[in-house]
Structure 1
Amino acid sequence: MDVKAGVLEIIQDVTGEDMSNQMDENLFDSGLLDSMATVEMLLALESRFNIQAPVSELAREDWDTTNKIVASVTSLMG
Structure 2
Amino acid sequence: MIKEQILEMLEEICEDEVVREDLDINLKEEGLMDSLAFVEMLVRIEENFGLSIAPTEVTYEEIDTPNKVIAYIENRLG
Normalising by the smaller structure, the TM-score range is over 0.9
Does the 8 Å CA contact 2:23/2:67 hold for their aligned counterparts? yes
| Equivalent position of 2:41 in the other structure | 41
Residue 42 of structure 1: how far off its partner (Å): 1.0
Q: TM-score, normalised by structure 1?
A: 0.92
| Equivalent position of 2:31 in the other structure | 31
State how 1:54-69 maps to structure 2 within 5 Å.
Answer: 54-69=54-69
Structure 1 runs, 4 residues or longer, greater than 6 Å off:
none
Unmatched segments (≥5 aa) in structure 2: none
Residue 72 of structure 1: how far off its partner (Å): 0.3
- The alignment's C-alpha RMSD in Å is 0.8
Residue 51 of structure 1: how far off its partner (Å): 0.9
Percent identity, please: 32
Q: TM-score, normalised by structure 2?
A: 0.92
